[in-house]
Structure 1
Amino acid sequence: MFVRIVKMAFTEEKVDEFLENFEKARHEIRNVKGNRLLELYRDRQHNNVFFTYSYWESEDDLENYRKSELFKEVWGKTKPLFSQKAEAWSVDKLITMP
């Protein structure tokens, strides 16, 4: 299992549109084969900056999602709202401390 982190900065007037779109799609994304967790975070100092954390069983599962119609639809609505290019990282979780 690995974690995909995506940082997105939106134009200020597009933040509400992003949040509405995310709310509509989040359950579908979470139910994609191989997805184990989906979280959305907002930067505390920059209200227009968000991070998604998603946990995936395998890289193939993430790639299948990225090739899906759902991803094309979600990303197609999200990308035009950016104020700058999104950044993404795939990382392995090493330690969890409950």
Structure 2
Amino acid sequence: MFVRIVKMSFHEEKIPDFLENFESVKNKIREANGNRFLELYQDKNNKCIFFTYSYWETEEDLENYRQSELFNTVWSFTKQLFNAKPEAWSVDKLMILN
């Protein structure tokens, strides 16, 4: 399992559009094959910056999602709202401290 982190920055007036769309698709994303976890975060100091954290069983699962009609629909809508180029990282979780 690995973690996918995506940083997105939006035009301030477009944030409600993004949040409304995310609300409508979050369960579908979460139900994608191989997805085990999905969260959305907003930066405390810059309300235009958001992060998604998702856990995936395999890189193939993430790639299958990225090639899906759902992703294409979500991303086509979302990328119109950006005020900066999004950034993404795939990382392995090395340690959990409870």
Task: Give aligned pairs, total.
Answer: 98
The aligned residue for residue 11 of structure 1 is: 11
Kindly provide the amino acid, as one letter, of the partner of residue 25 in structure 1.
V
The aligned residue for residue 71 of structure 1 is: 71
The aligned residue for residue 92 of structure 2 is: 92
Distance 1:27 1:42 in 2: 19
Distance 1:7 1:62 in 2: 16
SS at match of 1:55: strand
Identity %: 63
**Aligned-residue RMSD, C-alpha:** 0.4
Distance 2:30 2:96 in 1: 21
The aligned residue for residue 52 of structure 1 is: 52
Q: TM-score if structure 1 supplies the norm length?
A: 0.99
- CA apart distance, 1:97: 1.4
Distance 2:29 2:39 in 1: 11
Distance 2:21 2:85 in 1: 18
